[in-house]
A and B are shown apart, each in its own frame.
Chain A
Amino acid sequence: MNKQLSSTQFAILVFICGMAIKMFMLPALMLKVSGRDSIVVMAFYLVIELINVLFLVYTLCRNPDKTFYEIVESGIGKIGSIITVIYFTLFLLLKILLMIGEVKVFFSSSVYERISWDIMIIPLLVLCVGFASKPLTSLGRSSEIFAPLIVLSTVILSLLLSANVPISNLLPLFSNGLKSSVEGALTFPVWFGDVSLLLVCLGNVKVSKHTVLKTVLMRLLSVVFVLVFSVIMFSTYADITDLIDYGHNVSSMTQYSLGSHDYGRFDYIIYCFWMLAVLVKIMLNFYAMSQNVRYVSGKTARFIIPIIIAIVVYVLTVFVLKNENAMYSVSTSVLRFVFMPAEFLLPFFTFILAVIKFRKAEHQEKKEGDGEQKTV
């Protein structure tokens, strides 16, 4: 099996990571903190992520055969790279707990009346172990299969929701100055910073002349989707944020737009397709964690490492972060500041290391070339 992602597969992963978990509960949560200005906070983070994507693509194209670990190790040495990777893994752990929490909230609060999540999380973790034990190509190919479903469901949902949206509710912005925007920006960084996940793809992508274009376009598409959904959510609930509680999400809105008695809640089926994006992102996150642990431990065990990680995630989800409120509290606790560098600076950091290394190599090559010429 070819172990390298194609440019298209990489671009699709960038697209999926860009939109998953940002369109479901996050808008509702942001509304509670930032009100109408949530759109500003959302746009701010999306721009930062877009810049990070550019750093990532540049690093990828300049060093197509170098993995994240090789770049970091060549830049700051073995010990430094191990510390960085451990820190990165802890961030990924927080992130996967958040994402599993979102899946749980959707299925438990929207689709199921009663469900034992302690058992239901197991199939999800089995999936994660399955993907983590296979080459990244498997996830890349799966994303190609899921991408049309995700796009189609997003477009259908946008159309369903867009009827009677009071766009004027979005204005005026900054009615309370910058305070609410800053507060929102400081509260929800854990929901962003998805470009760091993609660092694991470095060295595993077949770079072509269209890689940059495809990746940037797909990222822009995800930005458009997220903004459309956010605008709908923010403008619909801008005046009535008090009604929103934790667990309130975009599916609550379609409930009203559908007239559920006549047509049934067929939108749940669409949300399930939509959830595939979150599943893919969880798999990628889990894969990245497994690779990190493999690097730190120096072992290449195919199944054991993912199984151990799955057990840790299971224990944390079931016994420590029992409910959604606990998850929300952890995600918005001091940890959000601790992991901010991993979220937003790691791609830049990798880019800088790659540039330094590349320049050094270039310089060295030039020197050797000059030396050879002189000898001749």
Chain B
Amino acid sequence: MKRADFLLEKFSTPDLIVRRNFKSDRFDGVLLYNPDLTDSLLIQELLKSLEDVRENVRNLQQLASRFVVVAESKVVYENEDATEGILNGDTVIIIDKANGYVVVNTRKYDKRAITEPPTSNVMQGPREGFVEDVKTNLALIERRLRTPSLAVEKLTVGRRSGTCVAIAYLSDVADESVVKKIRERIGNIDVDGIIDSNYVRAFVEDRPMSVFAQSAVSEKPDVVCAKMLEGRVAVIVDGSPMVLTFPFLLVEDFQSGEDYYQRSAFSTFLRIVRFLGVITAIFLPGLYVALQIFHYNIIPMRFVLTLMSSVNGIPFKPLSETVFVILLFELIREAGIRTPRAVGMAMSIVGALVLGETAVKAGIISSPAVMIVALSSLSLYTVPNQVGTMSILRIVFTLLGGLGGLYLIICGATYVVMYLTSIDSFSTPYLSPFAPINTEDIKDSLIRVSLPRMINRPSSIPNKNKRRQK
């Protein structure tokens, strides 16, 4: 059959595609499919049902609706659509002397089971996590949001990867302008391939070059659904377990899904701890250096004496010493992530104990510097999504503290605040509900009131439906 040959010619290795001829009482035809991506049992069934056709078939639409009942199917007329179907794991049916193709969804590929995501373990609450399959991820959302207003739009992005990107939102809650903007930005992506949701992120965010993320990332369906209920839009990318949500507020990273499954007072306490953790992580090494170099009179005398005896004889200046210890930590962290698990533990011990303790004993670095950087590093992980940003800021503020003391730290902090206040994520002020102050939304920011008191959806997030409780 010429049309089957024509389609197969497009593939660099046509042998990869299986061609099965079949014959029924009424017509001859061909099935084309990629065996690596398809369900062989389903194809057998499909083949059997096609060979069993005894009636006259007027057109492909009738064939698809009456005789291809083993899976969902559609009729396409463009060769490109048929090729795309084969690449996606669909089976293409070509009938002799009939225009067009019937594309049957026979996709089946191995996927990871739904497990607890390693990036967000919880003590309480759901343990399901997204996987790399967009269909499964959508099912996880659909199971939690059983409402007809749940809208899912699928786009194909990536010239060579042909990745399915789904935009999910609640049509009667999410603001149409936000959805439109996201749809446009994703639609305008023109790259070879989308391998992960972070690829999409860079194209959708307002300031992709910024050190601050302008989209939330979550591996947990409960978190994503809660955000969608607040009017946010989720972007699910096939091949990635990380689901993006827009618009994004900085305060979101201080919130954890688990906060809503605990007593509100405890959640508030944890959020304040996280906030203090971030402040400690960013500013502590810089302050330590600044106080040592410029403002030792701020330190109480007893501490000064202890400090002096600890740093006595250290060959490094305070700034270079602290930067050295920070870089040492970053090195250990990076190696720890990349090292195979079997040797990971041993490497951690070598890094933390051997390198750290030996360096202190040898008098290369001082114990206060190690302690300060260790405390700061520990604090980094109170807000895991901001680790990268905070690591950069920590080094910057350490340098500022070492070069100009408190004055430069204040100038630097003012600059960061100015920068953050100038960011809007889809018309949502990045620092909302603190700047601009939004008294209603403060209820679920650094503090969290109990759920019955959260009567309205956050007004910082553009939405069509303000009230969430009657």
Contact = CB atoms under 8 A, between A and B. Distances in A.
The 7 A-B residue pairs whose C-beta atoms are closest, nearest first, are A141-B421, A141-B435, A264-B300, A144-B435, A123-B411, A138-B422, A261-B301
Interface string A123-142: 11011001100110111111
Interface string B379-407: 00000000000000000000000001111
Contact of A264 (B303, B421, B424): B303
Give the size category of B's interface with A: 20 to 34
Contact of A279 (B297, B408, B410, B422): B410
B300 A263 contact: yes
Interface residues of A, number: 41
B405 A112 contact: yes
A120 B433 CA distance: 34
Interface string B407-446: 1111110110111011010000101001111000000000
Contact of B408 (A9, A123, A134): A123
Interface of A: 1-2, 6, 8-9, 107, 111-113, 115, 120, 123-124, 126-127, 130-131, 134-135, 137-142, 144-146, 260-266, 268-269, 272, 275-276, 279
Contacts of A111: 294-295, 405-407
Given A134-B422, A138-B418, A144-B434, A268 B300 contact: no
B140 to A, nearest CB: 35
B436 A8 contact: yes
A264 B299 contact: yes
A314 to B, nearest CB: 15
* A interface: dominant SS: helix
Contact of B406 (A131, A137, A268): A268
Contacts of A266: 298
A53 to B, nearest CB: 21
Contacts of B429: 1-2, 141
Query: Interface majority SS on B: helix, strand, loop or mixed?
Result: helix
Interface of B: 294-295, 297-301, 303-304, 404-412, 414-415, 417-419, 421-422, 424, 429, 431, 434-437
Contact of A134 (B406, B418, B434): B418
A275 B408 CA distance: 12
Given A123-B408, A268-B297, 18 more contacts: A8-B436, A112-B405, A127-B418, A137-B421, A138-B421, A141-B429, A144-B434, A144-B436, A144-B437, A145-B421, A261-B301, A264-B298, A264-B299, A268-B298, A269-B298, A272-B406, A275-B410, A279-B411
A144 B432 CA distance: 11
Question: Which of B407, B417, B437 is the most central at the interface, judged by chain A CB atoms within 10 Å of its CB?
Answer: B407
A1 B417 contact: no
A275 B410 CA distance: 9
Contacts of A126: 411, 415
B421 A127 contact: no
Contacts of B417: 142, 145-146
Nearest to A261: B301
B64 to A, nearest CB: 50
A8 B434 CA distance: 12
Nearest to A5: B436
B7 to A, nearest CB: 50
Nearest to A6: B436
A265 B297 contact: yes
A127 B301 contact: no
B405 A264 contact: no
Nearest to A116: B404
Given A1-B424, A111-B407, A145 B300 contact: no
Contacts of A142: 414, 417-418, 421, 435
Q: Which one of B408, B414, B429 has the greatest number of beta carbons of chain A within 10 Å? A: B414
Contacts of B299: 264
Contact of B298 (A137, A145, A265): A265
A345 B229 CA distance: 53
